[in-house]
Chains A and B, each alone.
Chain A
Amino acid sequence: DQQVKQNSPSLSVQEGRISILNCDYTNSMFDYFLWYKKYPAEGPTFLISISSIKDKNEDGRFTVFLNKSAKHLSLHIVPSQPGDSAVYFCAAINTGGFKTIFGAGTRLFVKA
């Protein structure tokens, strides 16, 4: 039973354009959401997060949007750069618990 779903295995975007990565979750108890970025042969690195009390969090070129009623979050990268090419994992946590639940990842290709 996948509690965090990233339905797009891959996404291809032209350099300079916007990349939008989507994530859906099923557990309404999740109250904190994170995005991790993973390059080949490396471990994931934390990118940006959002608390369930917010609907938007911005950090430079990266913005995460949260729609709690739809149980949906998205990561926007503007403008996209070739160095952004990586696998992006959505993750969710119930901070009253312990475990972080990860999605299967979306592979982003940014073409120069």
Chain B
Amino acid sequence: EADIYQTPRYLVIGTGKKITLECSQTMGHDKMYWYQQDPGMELHLIHYSYGVNSTEKGDLSSESTVSRIRTEHFPLTLESARPSHTSQYLCASSWQGNTEAFFGQGTRLTVV
């Protein structure tokens, strides 16, 4: 059973606010990822990490930032939320050398 958790599950926030989406996994996975998904669309990789102190930008340009200070924790921050950031954000993790990823339940963000 996968143990990867995202909070909050749902968030409605005003334009200009700073927000942090939390993601934690208890499996000791080295790799962690953030995907963004709009309804009926592909999952787009926005950030990933090979391990502690490693962060990289994904294929989809994003104004968000991430940090990886601990193996188990990979938070995503938006300094100033805008309506264009409204989407579902999915966190995932996997072992090094393993292609199968475990996903959290997602955070559905609405910026008004």
Contact = CB atoms under 8 A, between A and B. Distances in A.
A101 B92 CA distance: 14
Contacts of A101: 42
Interface size class of B (residues with CB under 8 A): 20 to 34
A89 to B, nearest CB: 7
A42 B2 CA distance: 13
Contacts of B44: 102
Nearest to A99: B45
A102 B43 contact: yes
A41 B90 contact: no
Interface residues of A, number: 24
A95 B40 contact: no
Interface string B89-109: 010100000011111111000
B59 A99 contact: yes
Interface stretch (A14-22, A44-52, A55-63, A66-74): A44-52
A36 B43 CA distance: 11
B106 A46 contact: no
A95 B92 CA distance: 17
Contacts of A99: 45, 48, 58-59
B41 interface: yes
A49 B103 CA distance: 16
B40 A43 contact: no
Interface of A: 2, 4, 9, 32, 34, 36, 41-46, 49, 89, 93, 95, 98-105
Given A102-B43, A104-B41, 8 more contacts: A4-B42, A41-B105, A46-B100, A46-B101, A49-B100, A103-B42, A104-B42, A105-B42
Top 5 closest pairs, chain A to chain B, by CB: A43-B103, A102-B43, A46-B100, A102-B42, A104-B42
